[in-house]
Amino acid sequence: MNTDTADEQDESGIATWIVEVFVALCLFVLGAVVAYNSWKLGAGWRDDGPGAGYFPFYIGLLICTASAIVGVRGMRSGSRVDKVFVTHSQLRLVLTVLLPSLAFVAAVQVVGIYVGSLLFIAGFMVWVGKYHWAKSVAIAFAVMAIAFLMFEVWFKVPLFKGALDPLRFLGY
Amino acid sequence: MTEFASLFHGFAVVLTPFNLMLMMVGIVLGVLIGVLPGLGGANGVAILLPLTFSMPPTSAIILLSCIYWGALFGGAITSVLFNIPGEPWSVATTFDGYPMAQQGRAGEALTAAFTSSFIGAFFAVLMITFLAPLVARFALQFGPPEFFSVYLLTFCSFVGMGKGSPMKILASMMLGFALAAVGMDTVTGQLRLTFGLPDLMRGFDFLIAVIGLFGIGEILLSMEEGLKFSGSSARINTRIVLETWKKLPKYWMTSIRSTLIGCWMGITPGGATPASFMSYGMAKKMSPRGANFGKGEIEGVVAPETAAHAAGTSALLPMLALGIPGSPTAAVLLGGLLIWGLQPGPLLFVEKPDFVWGLIASMYLGNVAGLIIVLTSVPLFASILRVPFAIIAPIIIAICAIGAYTVHSAMLDIWFMLGFGVVGYVFKKLDYPLAPLVLAVVLGDRAEDSFRQSMLLSQGDLTILWSNWLVGSITTLALLLLAWPFIGRGLQMVKAVALRAESRASTTHDQRG
């Protein structure tokens, strides 16, 4: 019984055609926005040549056309071809990377790249990889030490250090 | 034979201890990048590009192009040993490489892969040496309409030669153009599509797009598959190498064919990935042992590797001679030229011969060095793949974030990178090709400028694109390629109708007989 339900869970997921139509719709809206904005900027011919919106206007129109065709095709094939875009278990795996990455990018904006990356690598190893925290911190620290040497010391490319700036004592 | 003199001058430029060291570092880093999931030629070079801002341009391009060669070599290692293509162009290598490894012939497969990579690259570099100066000299006469028609040809050939849905190729490409249009308009100085956000004034940098689309997108994809690395071990020693080398000359026909396919697909922006598949398919069809393909045939490793490397290398020809890259990685290198203050295009050969010939000379040396390094250090690189994904994934994401930040020292770019990562993941799963998107972001402004300059010349008359035989034939060819998917379908329909008519004719004939 248990394996059956597990299998069913694996099989089910978000249908490909829904994602297909959704993406096409997003592209269509984007194309429309591009075309509208370019129109406002001046998509026509000016005294001194083509206006700033001349080229992007047609780009916007082409995005709309292409995405409309893709979208309509997707809807037609629709439920007849029920391919799965991503199963629930796959989605869970993807989210175990994506959600921490989101948190990482948000954190980095405040605490800086060094501290943020250190926390992210160590945290990911403990949470997803189930490693011992000491080992995780050690590896994360080693990676960031290499990054520090490479960027700040050898190539003189300063990274964002954020509010904490723990490396101030080194003079960087 | 001025090429020889220039080439030797190029060798003189390259053969300094500093440049040779950069070459070695580049190859090793490149193989590492090729082996690791989520890091590939294009985004690996993009991440390391900011590190080269302070270097002399020739040293910088040697480092970056050697990373590219290394990544091309590295893709084969994971394909053969782990059945995981480290790069998209090494997918076809897994078909016969992995079965060979399972039969305990991993060393043989790897030697064959590396050697044929080297041969493919070598002939592509030879071609670049002699053809690129000619093309550049020819292109010196180009005006804006000619350049626009070449851009048109580049983009139309994506649609004409792409495998997927032409509408998706078009949508993805136009999205790239739209992203390129964001920011300050170079001609009028007006702000376009910035929606009042000052951060958008600079526009989207394609390096951010490359790092997100290929790096983060790839990590999400590999995570979804729940990567379990279980690989065979590789032992390469001199005996295996020599024995394999004895076998390889038998496949000279395959090598020549694959090199030609690779060079053609590299110059036109078909790219290394379709080249490797096409070459594998051709080899399977033409080989007397074609039925054994997929079961561990050495020829099935030779064909895709030769073509992929030849394509990857010859993608640099249009980048050098015309300023129009043939692959995403070539596009990133082109972005590098702009950052180092060099103007890509046909004038580069005249104005910066040291740079151009230094680069070409480094291609010869880099590939020799690459071959030696990979042949001697495979076990080392293979052991990296045994590091669990839970350690590799966060490190690569952190590296991508650092790479995205260093492009402009802007924290907002890290958000964009993550956004591009999600787009890359979804696009990849829906078969929207990413290469045309990236090339459009890179070339968008320049294509637009050449278009607007042509329109200024002609006062808005599109017939300027047919004003002389040269621009006219390029434009016509481009439009033919654009229409190719539809022509192809039309031809198939005609053929089907003809077949039906023929069979009807033959049946009536039979009845009469």
Does A151 sit within 8 Å of B402, measured CB to CB? yes
pLDDT exceeds cutoff 80 at B88 = no
Tell me the shortest Cα–Cα distance from A15 to chain B, in angstroms. Answer: 12
Locate all alpha helices (DSSP H) within B90-193, ordered by sequence: 91-102, 106-139, 144-161, 166-181
pLDDT exceeds cutoff 60 at B510 = no
Q: What is the pLDDT of residue A9?
A: 46
When comparing pLDDT for B503 and B215, which is higher?
Answer: B215
Distance, in Å, from the CA atom of A70 to the CA atom of B168, rounded to the nearest integer, reads: 7
Does B401 sit within 8 Å of A50, measured CB to CB? no
Of the residues B53, B190, B397, the best mutation for testing chain A's interface (the one with the most A CB atoms within 10 Å of its CB) is B397
Q: What is the pLDDT of residue B309?
A: 87
> Rounded mean pLDDT of B174-185?
89
Residue A149, number of CB atoms within 10 A of its CB = 11
pLDDT exceeds cutoff 70 at B312 = yes
> Does residue B387 belong to the interface with chain A, where contact is any CB pair within 8 Å?
no
Least confident range from B135-139, B192-196, B422-426: namely B192-196
Would you tell me which residues 390-449 of chain B have a C-beta closer than 8 angstroms to some C-beta of chain A? 390-391, 393-395, 397-399, 401-402, 405-406, 409, 411, 414-415, 418, 421-422, 425-427, 429-430, 432, 448
| Cβ neighbours of A125 in B, within 8 Å | 390-391, 394
Distance, in Å, from the CA atom of A30 to the CA atom of B172, rounded to the nearest integer, reads: 12
| Cβ neighbours of B170 in A, within 8 Å | 62, 66
Coil, strand or helix at B464: helix
Of the residues A21, A59, A128, the best mutation for testing chain B's interface (the one with the most B CB atoms within 10 Å of its CB) is A59
Distance, in Å, from the CA atom of B321 to the CA atom of A148, rounded to the nearest integer, reads: 38
What's the pTM value of the predicted model, to 2 decimals? 0.84
Does A31 sit within 8 Å of B402, measured CB to CB? no
Contact (Cβ atoms closer than 8 angstroms) between residue B101 and residue B236: no
Which of A27, A97, A129 is closest, CB to CB, to B220? A97
Q: What is the pLDDT of residue A166?
A: 67
Tens of pLDDT along B20-34?
999 999 999 998 888
| Cβ neighbours of B430 in A, within 8 Å | 16, 19-20, 23, 85
Q: Is residue B316 very low, low, confident or very high in pLDDT (cuts 50, 70, 90)?
A: confident
Does B402 sit within 8 Å of A155, measured CB to CB? no
Q: Is residue B513 very low, low, confident or very high in pLDDT (cuts 50, 70, 90)?
A: very low
Per residue, what are the HEC states of B306-357? Answer: HHHHHHHHHCHHHHHHHCCCCCHHHHHHHHHHHHCCCCCCCCHHHHCHHHHH
Tens of pLDDT along B454-493?
888 888 788 888 888 888 888 898 888 888 888 877 888 8
Does B430 sit within 8 Å of A56, measured CB to CB? no
Q: What is the pLDDT of residue B4?
A: 82
> Rounded mean pLDDT of B320-345?
84
Dmax of chain A from CA atoms?
Answer: 76
Residue A137, number of CB atoms within 10 A of its CB = 18
Q: Is residue B229 very low, low, confident or very high in pLDDT (cuts 50, 70, 90)?
A: low
Distance, in Å, from the CA atom of B97 to the CA atom of B417, rounded to the nearest integer, reads: 34
Tell me the shortest Cα–Cα distance from B398 to chain A, in angstroms. Answer: 6
Chain A residue whose CA is closest to B55 = A155
Q: What is the pLDDT of residue A4?
A: 40
Structure tokens at A164: 């904490």
Does B220 sit within 8 Å of A49, measured CB to CB? no
Tell me the shortest Cα–Cα distance from B395 to chain A, in angstroms. Answer: 6
Q: What is the pLDDT of residue A172?
A: 63
> Does residue B27 belong to the interface with chain A, where contact is any CB pair within 8 Å?
no
Tell me the shortest Cα–Cα distance from A66 to chain B, in angstroms. Answer: 5
> Rounded mean pLDDT of B364-386?
85
Q: What is the pLDDT of residue A2?
A: 39
Which of B192, B394, B406 is closest, CB to CB, to A52? B192
| Cβ neighbours of A29 in B, within 8 Å | none
Does A49 sit within 8 Å of B452, measured CB to CB? yes
Tens of pLDDT along A65-90?
999 999 998 888 876 667 788 888 88
| Cβ neighbours of A85 in B, within 8 Å | 429-430
Distance, in Å, from the CA atom of B437 to the CA atom of B214, rounded to the nearest integer, reads: 12
Distance, in Å, from the CA atom of B402 to the CA atom of B48, rounded to the nearest integer, reads: 10
Q: What rounded mean pLDDT belongs to chain B? A: 84
When comparing pLDDT for B83 and A74, which is higher?
Answer: A74
What single DSSP character describes residue B192?
E
Tens of pLDDT along B270-303?
667 778 888 888 888 888 887 888 888 888 889 9
Structure tokens at B421: 């990562």
Does A16 sit within 8 Å of B430, measured CB to CB? yes
Residues listed for chain B: 513
Distance, in Å, from the CA atom of A141 to the CA atom of A158, rounded to the nearest integer, reads: 18
Tell me the shortest Cα–Cα distance from B60 to chain A, in angstroms. Answer: 12
Which of A51, A101, A156 is closest, CB to CB, to B54? A156
Q: Which helix (H) or strand (E) holds B183?
A: strand B183-184
Cα angle A92, A95, A96 (rounded to 5 degrees) comes to 90
Does A34 sit within 8 Å of B193, measured CB to CB? yes
Residue B267, number of CB atoms within 10 A of its CB = 21
Chain B residue whose CA is closest to A137 = B391
Does B192 sit within 8 Å of A41, measured CB to CB? yes
Amino acid type, A124: F
Please report, in tens digits, the pLDDT of each residue of chain A (172 residues total): 333 434 444 567 888 888 999 999 999 999 999 999 888 887 777 766 777 788 889 999 999 999 999 999 888 887 666 778 888 888 888 998 899 999 999 999 988 899 999 999 999 999 888 889 999 999 999 999 988 888 888 877 888 887 766 666 666 6
Under 8 Å CB pairs connecting chains A and B tally to: 170
Would you tell me which residues 140-179 of chain B have a C-beta closer than 8 angstroms to some C-beta of chain A? 165, 167-168, 170-171, 174-175, 177-178
Closest CA to A49 of B174, B190, B196: B190
